[in-house]
């Protein structure tokens, strides 16, 4: 199969991987390359180029990061499940379970909309971090995917460019930085900056060119000076200089409210050495030769960042009094600084890297998730996420000399809550470096903080404006809620009782617990408390359990054309083993004498057909409202009391569904187990019916019933 010349050849990709991993599984990479090329055959990008160039480019980005074979193969396959007729089962069969899981993980991430309403954004961020905890390589592939899309963004429609660039600036660039891949963060930010503010970027570039014309090659001159000083002190060092990215310069101008002419530290230099001891020797050489700028020194070697980053940062007044930022690190520290958390999977000298500074990604994600998942609601969770992704860190000390890490801008109250919630709740004052200071004081690197507490002290509402950490905000809000909890719960109960009465329902404990679970709230007491404090409306609770009350029907789709992807003369039927409904991913299987039978994509019956690909049809449901004629079997256990079955049937009817069959499976003195066939519109309708039934006190359990004995 001849490929377009714009596509990187498989031999070039393999040679790149072999350059850092001579033991690479060439056969595996070649098989993935050929399979993906076949799957994407005929597909085009917005530019008109073959779509296959994109997954190969993503694989090359990850190869340049020296990642393992499984990650490279995942990059090649990452769009096959989403955009082609390929399936999870087929990838697992042709490759292996690990690769199928990785590809499936990237597919699920691609379907997440990380911009939009705050509640939806928070829910999808939770899914993002769940994917990270499963296997961090999924995020590495997604970041490389976003990087290549940003590099080729000019071919998208203008409004799409803006949307993708804003998402990149707000989410993907900070995430890359949080994972320690600063080079990727810088490039993503600059690419997004060129779309969101092209005039601002062009202005920076014009001024930078003018500065170079006036002063000559400052980077080259300072690099020569640094090398000369290192040689004079007999320190074996590599020195690299660079001008900072336009967006980095622009951000400094905005933060410091400075003009370009007054912004001095627009050059950055790295001094890379053999040992940690050499790093401190190099620091001494630099500070002896040039004046250190006060307040611009950070030692991340003695106090590493949580993502494994180690380096000494210092800013000095260099040649012609220009400020320059210098980073000092060893070669192994530099590898981690370039790869971040991804260093765990990278190769050096043909073997998996055993860099002592590379953090264990499992522990890193656990630590990150632990800090993020303590949030009580969507707002708090988003606060946690954005702080974690954007914040730089400061290091302060307890009176005993223990180190506490906090985000930049943190106050003594943040420090108190970082030690223990009890210390924060009872805080009445603070000493910084032995001096009494206001609670709103911003802590600086290296300061010693002491908290003064008093029995009976309670958090104040004004504290929410003082603290910056999600942990502190969450604890303060919780304490404030607890004080008025009883009053709020009584008020919440009255509000929800009236709301349920208006729709003819009873606000039972089980109904409220079910609603709380569906809304992501701890329990019914917490739900009532939030109702009383106006954080949640009673209408929202009713609509969570009974959304059909406000449901509006549009023109329904003709059942004969409910499925897209079949020829006009082909008839179809639903498989009774899995009973697919609109909204579920489906696949069609040809059966002699039966036409095409539709199965859900995860139907176990498909396992026996994987070796018969000619019988498979790539299908999907027609978009729009479907009639309620899709029968689904529900397995229920209900109380054996008078009138219960009648109430269940009435409730199903109230949700706009019809019972087409009912079978008692087991009758006991206290409970009945039965299978009810219900006619439904789509997957959302099914969830609505099941949720309403689950909220009933007399329903012990409910689940969807599947019967493989009924397969075609």
Q: What residues are labeled active site?
A: 82-83
Contact 85, 39 (CB under 8 A): yes
Cα-based angle 321, 323, 324 (whole degrees, multiple of 5): 130
The length of the chain is 712
Distance (Å, whole) CA 436 – CA 429: 8
How crowded is residue 363: how many other Cβ atoms within 10 Å of its Cβ?
Answer: 10
For tokens 């303060």, the residue is: 476
State the burial class of residue 17 (Cβ atoms within 10 Å of its Cβ: 0-12, 13-18, 19+): buried
Element (H, E) at 223: helix 218-232
DSSP 287-354: HHHSEEEEEEEEETTTS--TTS---EEEEEE-GGG-EEEEEEEEHHHHHHHHHGGGGGG-EETTEE--
Sheet containing strand 699-704, edge to edge, reads: 658-667, 671-680, 630-639, 699-704
Decide the pairing of beta strands 563-564 and 620-621. Answer: antiparallel
Half-sphere exposure of 190 (CA within 13 A, CB side): 16
Q: Where are the alpha helices (DSSP H) in 78-114?
A: 80-83, 88-94, 97-110
Distance (Å, whole) CA 96 – CA 424: 50
For tokens 């009435």, the residue is: 650
Q: Torsion angle of alpha carbons 9, 11, 17, 18, nearest 10°?
A: -170
How crowded is residue 300: how many other Cβ atoms within 10 Å of its Cβ?
Answer: 18
For tokens 């004080």, the residue is: 483
Contact 696, 651 (CB under 8 A): yes
Distance (Å, whole) CA 264 – CA 322: 6
**DSSP 8-state assignment for residue 682:** S
Cα-based angle 546, 549, 554 (whole degrees, multiple of 5): 120
Query: Please, which residues have CB within 8 angstroms of residue 291's CB and are 6 or more apart in sequence?
Result: 316, 317
Half-sphere exposure of 689 (CA within 13 A, CB side): 31
Decide the pairing of beta strands 586-591 and 563-564. Answer: unpaired
Tokens of 350: 């043909």
Distance (Å, whole) CA 535 – CA 526: 11
Q: Where are the alpha helices (DSSP H) in 330-430?
A: 331-339, 361-372, 378-390, 412-419, 421-425
Distance (Å, whole) CA 322 – CA 80: 52
Provide the β-strand partners of residue 352: 347
Distance (Å, whole) CA 180 – CA 339: 7
């Amino acid at each position: 199969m001849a490929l377009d010349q714009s596509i990187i050849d498989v031999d070039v990709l393999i040679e790149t991987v072999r350059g850092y991993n001579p033991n690479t599984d060439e056969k595996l990479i070649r098989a993935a390359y050929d399979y993906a090329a076949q799957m994407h055959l005929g597909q085009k990008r917005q530019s008109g180029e073959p779509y296959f160039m994109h997954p190969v480019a993503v694989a090359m980005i990850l190869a340049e990061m020296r990642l393992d074979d499984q990650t490279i193969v995942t990059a090649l396959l990452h769009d096959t499940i989403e955009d082609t007729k390929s399936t999870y089962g087929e990838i697992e069969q042709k490759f292996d379970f690990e690769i199928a899981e990785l590809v499936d993980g990237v597919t699920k991430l691609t379907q997440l909309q990380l911009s939009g309403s705050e509640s939806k954004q928070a829910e999808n961020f939770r899914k993002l971090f769940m994917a990270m905890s499963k296997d961090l390589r999924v995020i590495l592939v997604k970041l490389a995917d976003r990087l290549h899309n940003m590099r080729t963004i000019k071919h998208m429609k203008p409004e799409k460019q803006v949307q993708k660039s804003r998402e990149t600036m707000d989410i993907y660039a900070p995430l890359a930085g949080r994972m320690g891949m600063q080079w990727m963060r810088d490039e993503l930010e600059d690419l997004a900056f060129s779309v969101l503010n092209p005039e601002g970027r062009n202005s920076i570039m014009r001024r930078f060119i003018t500065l170079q014309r006036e002063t000559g090659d400052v980077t080259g001159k300072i690099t020569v000076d640094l090398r000369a000083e290192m040689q004079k002190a007999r320190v074996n060092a590599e020195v690299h200089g660079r001008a900072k990215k336009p967006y980095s310069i622009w951000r400094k101008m905005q933060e410091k409210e400075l003009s370009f002419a007054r912004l001095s530290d627009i050059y950055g230099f790295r001094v890379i050495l053999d040992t940690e001891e050499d790093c401190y020797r190099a620091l001494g050489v630099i500070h002896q030769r040039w004046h250190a700028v006060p307040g611009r020194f950070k030692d991340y070697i003695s106090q590493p960042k949580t993502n494994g980053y180690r380096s000494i940062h210092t800013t000095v007044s260099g040649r012609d009094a220009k400020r320059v930022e210098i980073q000092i690190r060893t070669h192994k520290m530099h590898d981690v600084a370039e790869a971040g958390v991804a260093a765990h999977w990278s190769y050096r000298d043909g073997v998996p890297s055993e860099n002592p500074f590379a953090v264990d990604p499992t522990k890193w994600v656990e630590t990150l998730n632990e800090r993020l998942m303590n949030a009580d609601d969507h707002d708090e969770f988003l606060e946690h996420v954005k702080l974690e992704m954007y914040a730089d860190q400061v290091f302060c000390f307890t009176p005993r000399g223990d180190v506490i890490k906090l985000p930049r801008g943190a106050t003594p109250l943040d420090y108190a809550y970082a030690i223990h919630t009890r210390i924060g709740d009872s805080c009445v004052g603070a000493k910084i470096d032995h001096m009494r200071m206001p609670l709103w004081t911003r802590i600086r690197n290296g300061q010693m903080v002491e908290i003064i507490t008093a029995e009976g002290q309670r958090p104040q509402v004004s504290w929410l404006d003082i603290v910056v950490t999600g942990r502190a905000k969450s604890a303060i809000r919780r304490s404030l809620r607890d004080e008025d909890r009883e009053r709020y719960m009584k008020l919440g109960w009255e509000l929800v009782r009236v709301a349920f009465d208006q729709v003819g329902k009873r606000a039972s404990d089980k109904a409220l617990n079910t609603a709380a679970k569906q809304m992501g709230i701890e329990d019914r007491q917490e739900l009532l408390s939030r109702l009383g404090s106006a954080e949640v409306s009673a209408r929202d609770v009713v609509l969570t359990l009974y959304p059909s009350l406000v449901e509006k029907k549009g023109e329904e789709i003709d059942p004969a054309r409910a499925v897209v992807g079949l020829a006009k003369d082909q008839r179809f039927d639903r498989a009774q083993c899995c009973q697919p409904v609109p909204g579920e991913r489906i696949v069609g299987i040809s059966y002699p004498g039966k036409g095409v039978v539709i199965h859900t994509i995860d139907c176990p019956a498909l396992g026996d057909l994987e070796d018969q690909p000619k019988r498979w049809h790539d299908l999907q449901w027609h978009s729009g409202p479907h009639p309620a004629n899709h029968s689904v079997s529900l397995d229920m256990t209900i109380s054996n009391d008078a009138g219960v079955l009648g109430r269940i049937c009435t409730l199903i009817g109230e949700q706009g569904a019809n019972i087409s069959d009912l079978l008692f499976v087991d009758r006991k003195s206290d409970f009945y187990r039965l299978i009810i066939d219900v006619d439904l519109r789509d997957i959302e309708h099914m969830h609505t019916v099941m949720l309403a039934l689950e909220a009933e006190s007399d329903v012990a359990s409910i689940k969807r019933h599947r019967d493989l004995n009924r397969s075609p």
